[in-house]
Amino acid sequence: MKQIGLRQPITIRVVDDYVGSDGQKADGVPVLVAGYHRLEAARILGWEKIDAIDADDDDLSAELWEIAENLHRHDLSKEQRDEHIRRYAELLEARQVTQNAAPVSKLTDGRSKGPQHEKGIPRQIAEETGLSVDTVRRALKPKPVHHEPPKEVHDVHDQARRRMMSAWNNATEEDRQWFRDWIDSPVMG
């Protein structure tokens, strides 16, 4: 920016009823939507002004935009990227709820647009963010993490099972029947 200037303005939105960290309410407060790194670079360079685009968005749309921009940063870990994608999905679902309250839109042939004409959340996210549908699907359905118990736990359980099998094998048929009856009794159930 020092050598070539600002090529892409930051994006802000002006918020009324903004509550600051001090708890004070204010109207007409510019809130950054996108361009944090550009804004910080301008501050470091000592700029007193920076070009900004005033986005007339609601909270939901502004957060969607912010996430979409953050998804293209190269320093996100897979976990951070997946977390952003999951939040994006939550926001899209919230947006759909508010849009479903709106009048039903029409297709070009005049028929009412139904749910069968809607894109799925993964495809929407992919189209709006430029990510692949597969990447989005993987983020939305993470593989369950299977934690294998430590070997010592297996050893303890194996030892207990061996003792039970030994006791069973050494028990008389009368004792085995008593044990079967006890297991089937209401006390055990």
pLDDT tens digits, 163-189:
888 888 898 999 888 888 888 877 655
- Residue 38 dihedral angles phi and psi, to the nearest 5°: -65, -40
pTM attached to this predicted model: 0.54
Residue 15 belongs to what H/E stretch? strand 10-15
In the prediction, which pLDDT does 74 show?
Answer: 66
pLDDT digits (tens, 9 = 90+) for 48-75: 999 998 888 888 888 888 888 888 776 8
pLDDT digits (tens, 9 = 90+) for 16-55: 888 888 888 888 888 888 888 899 999 999 999 999 988 8
- Residue 115, pLDDT > 80, answer no
Which amino acid would we find at residue 157? H
In the prediction, which pLDDT does 151 show?
Answer: 72
